Structure 1
Amino acid sequence: MKVFETFRDAFRAPDLRVKILFTLAMLLVFRFLAHVPLPGVDQTQLASILQNNQLLSLLDLFSGGGLSRFSVVALGVNPYINASI
């Protein structure tokens, strides 16, 4: 099981351990914020808009459902990836 040995060795290096834990913490925060809807948004009206528009449904698919919940991080990392291309 070379994968587990590599993972164990990565946690032995203090600087790499900090980077891995920071990345995992940021992913956890991001996933939490993806489930927090913005206040003042009518969810039923938003759902009807998303069902009628195929482009918005596709964006919702790429955002992992964050757009249908209209969360704080609704678009995810898509704008960053598109800007870097």
Structure 2
Amino acid sequence: MKITNNGDRRAIYQVDVRITGPGGFEATAHVKTTVVGLYPGTSWPTELTVRDPGKPVPEHPFVSIEKNTKQELQS
């Protein structure tokens, strides 16, 4: 997953990603770019690991973005 700031101000992003699959697999991952915020035109690559205890990891999961929040910072 890659988060890109297409705006014209530095910003912090918070994203909730939902992963579901066969066998009842269901998990939500939370990502927040809080270090210094993303400067305009930059990206933040993110690798997520999620688990649903007792459920097998789906070979072909369904991934959706549940929430995407952007907080612009003052320069």
TM-score, normalised to structure 2's length?
0.22
Asked which structure has the greater RCO (Cα within 8 Å, sep 6+), the reply is 2
Bigger helix fraction: 1
Bigger strand fraction: 2
